[in-house]
Chain A
């Protein structure tokens, strides 16, 4: 079994499909021009990678761009993809920021705000009913999405996956990067001696990936491997020696069984910022050591830095290089920086290439490298391994309106409520005030949860990889950044809030705290972000021998939550919280375990219920395995969720207690994460506390708990002991 790119779609400032992009790369066309999309308070407007043609206005730009690339990729393919994995950082922000600027109070207008809505928009348009996952790891998002897609294919859970990245230009990123003094007023000139920064851009690239034994007819390229690492060094700056970047490239080579000398061309991340380019050049020096560097170039001087799309665009450009034997120029670089010992291609070159390495790095120290090869090239075949995606639970923590885990459990035993906002005292319990002075509510919660889960595991070992789920990301940072921007006629912002506004900022903090240098992935999708994080951890965490930290959290924000989260908006109490789980991949069928079992984007089909029953082993197995069902029914889809639950109970012949846990935890996107932490404790103790079971404690009769997510998606997670 090997993974092939069988089709692709791409839209960027240099072309609105693959053939236009190729033509632009052949002539070294530059798509950068002074911003015209909105009035810029920076005068003259900064050179930007803006897509000039008209995009339909009924959805945010990110959604439109993603769909254009997805349609091109899926052209001629009749069956919908089995799964969609999309990397996005801005989501609906291009539309939302304007609504916020105008103080528009109508939540209905924010329905496309969530980062996860882009992938669901694609799924609806293409009829995809399988897993729909959204990755938000800043500027590596698009390439991390490809990694998840590859692992999804290798696990046998999908045969054809549509994966990539998309981001639309918006004020948040335009002013945000400028406030960090990371934008070159002359336009990006990666690796040039006078480079002063990037140019913010927009675009999308989608790749169709298929798992087959031999190259299918028309295969464009083979995905040999993707390597992921985290610098665990700084929230926004790369490690000065590019240590994490080097390690990501080494991981990709090792995964493919290749050596550095096998690489014909390197498609660089090369944003044009002084630090980024230096770190990447140093990483390459370390990787190649005494070997000569192969031809290398960054396309960001031509199309700008397309953020969440960049990793997917780089991968798509690399595929075009392989197919057409074209190595693009490093547009913008006139005099290469003599300090970098890297001479990027000054003009396009025509020559056959078999193996291409491509990079994408982002805030939070997130590094991704993909190795792509010509389909004819021989590579070690990859066997489908029916690996268990179960984890041993080494430690767990939660934050609820009642406080930390112990306080929450005490409240539940006493029959008291646990809804409400997590008290500041509980959040700060394991944190040092001055060490977290720049962190607002969500990163503090995430860090607190991770530290508590680790400390209650009693393990001396720190986690290697981090998976973080968040429905909405750092709302305080997003709100504060935008409100300061809009209250100063878009002249002043907070660089700290911009860095904190990326969805993966909390996971980056956790990585720095534990020096966790393995994969660091943030998944985000409203009410199902925790399940997506656990599901993705199940696909990837086995790669390294260490432990994995899975965290999910959401904060209540008085202004933004009611606009974004329809379930929370109508709730009687404002609630937030989350959970942390220190996990170890396991094949053993004993001990306290958690396993993601099911994830579907097709809640209304009979087939979904049938598939769910199959995934759980059928009615008899369900009766034997589970002593309780924790059902997550977001208030906004209560009627639909109740129907789904009734169908499940009937199909499973379930007679155990069914806990409608959002009635207890309150309504917030990561409520399912809290339910998971509670389930872990219940299974450990063998009983449900009174507060969870209509005021009566109930025995689980040595059985586990099934955590069902209902509503817009259907998910299943098993906690067993």
Chain B
């Protein structure tokens, strides 16, 4: 073997061993170093400073901050984190860098508003974010829609402000016609499930984002379950009033003509009639947003979007 070839072979072998060694050591380093500070550090927390330091490349920086906000929310959401303290500052920086970045308001507000662990549980921050978005983009009806949506899902629901937000949206050119209906329904406080269904159907129809569509579908499926269980439990009450006892099985309800067949959830699985007269889902994990039909003390896992 020539000298040069010997060097090549030795250097190649050494390179491969070093590469493997570096990967191995990096894994060890990851275990030694806690990852928490990495996730929880906002290197600069003043939107004004970040904007100044962006040297005019604020569009690109806004995209990076938005991506970071999405990653931050996603990772904490999956791990069912108990706080999202960096989410609002990340969104503030993103929108200060690019006030026209509509997605940051639209989806950001939906990350911030829902209660823990589904979201950051900060509806006030979501409202502030959307109002800032509206000030900078007064002609975008989607922002008024999102604002109304947030007021509706706030606990307690602020019907007046939800109606006002939808109403403001109707005045924007090319606004979705649903806004007018929603504004009217809010003003009347009418049909909770029906209104929710309309909101989620609009959410589905007005986004191209796959994840947001899946989220809307998951909510619509949960609404169907809530509606079914409400109806079924009314029948049980009715049966109890007529006979003085709870129905022992679903077949008894079918026998009385109250039910035409075995009631099934949106996946086609039959609901279970419990001995205390409640109805339960067979697989509650498949309906993460359902509030009815759940076993006592049930805690849902991370949402699975079908």
A and B interact: no
Residues of A in contact with B (beta carbons under 8 Å apart): none
